[in-house]
Amino acid sequence: MVRVYVSSIIDAAAENVWARVRDFNALPQWHPGIADSRIENSEPSDRIGCIRHFHTRDGGMIRERLLALSDYDYSCTYSILESPMGVDDYVATLKLTPVTDGARTFAEWSAEFECAEGRERELTELIGGGVFQGGFDALKRHFGRR
């Protein structure tokens, strides 16, 4: 089981950051690595169990199911149903926590998954670096420096 954990500080209040990332279908709006996205079967994007069907900028297709969502804890958990990455039993959680000192946000994004032996480092860099830190960098840029 591989575990990837990435965390960062975003210079904006947690409720504002949550408002930007909460929508399970909004990845293309805030993540530079995602080209387009739709929710299958026209379900609302905050219904637990709904599936987002999206493409990365390099053309890969991924389907992910929403497993948990909390407007109280500012967190969401989802699993991968299909992807070109070669991962199994992939479950990820994105969570925000207020930093009261300075009205900032502590953002955590983690994933656990299985993969073929020898691919751990490559996938950790792709997921941890490209997807997670890439997303946080975009949020940091969006909310700017105060």
Partner 1 sequence: MLQKVVRSTVIDAPIDRVWAVLRDFNSHDQWHDVVAESRIEGGEAPTQVGCIRSFTLKDGNRIREQLLTLSETEHRSTYCIVEATVPLQRYVATVTLKPVTDGDRTFWHWESTFATPPGMERELRQMVAEGVYEAGFENLRRHLGRRGDARRGDGGTTTVSRGAPVASREVRLHRYGGPEQLEVGAGEAPPPGPGEVRIRQRAIGVNYFDIYLRRGWIPALLPVSDTRPGVLGMEAAGTVLDVGEGVGTVLPGDRVAYLGPRPGAYTSVRTVPADWVVRLPAAVEDETAAALFLKGLTADVLVRDLGRVGPGARLLVHAAAGGVGLLVCAAARRLGATVLGTVSTEAKARVAREHGCQHVIVTADYRFADAVQRQAGGADVIVDGLGDAAREENFAALARRGHWISLGQASGALQPISPDWLVQKSATFSRPVVFDYVDTPATLAERAQRLWDALAAGTAPPIERYALDAAAQAHARLESRGSVGALVLVA
CA distance 74 to 31: 18
The contact set with partner 1 (CB under 8 A) reads 5-9, 97-102, 104, 106, 108, 133, 136
Q: 36: which 2 tokens?
A: 């387009």
Nearer to partner 1, 83 or 97 (CB): 97
Nearer to partner 1, 33 or 98 (CB): 98
Q: What angle do CA 83, 84, 87 make, to 5 degrees?
A: 70
CA distance 94 to 107: 8
Contact of 144 with 17, CB cutoff 8 Å: no
Q: How far is the CB of 32 from partner 1 (least distance, A)?
A: 16
Within 13 Å and on the Cβ side, how many CA atoms surround 117? Answer: 0
Q: How far is the CB of 129 from partner 1 (least distance, A)?
A: 10
Q: How far is the CB of 143 from partner 1 (least distance, A)?
A: 14
Nearer to partner 1, 15 or 108 (CB): 108
Q: How far is the CB of 142 from partner 1 (least distance, A)?
A: 15
Nearer to partner 1, 12 or 66 (CB): 12
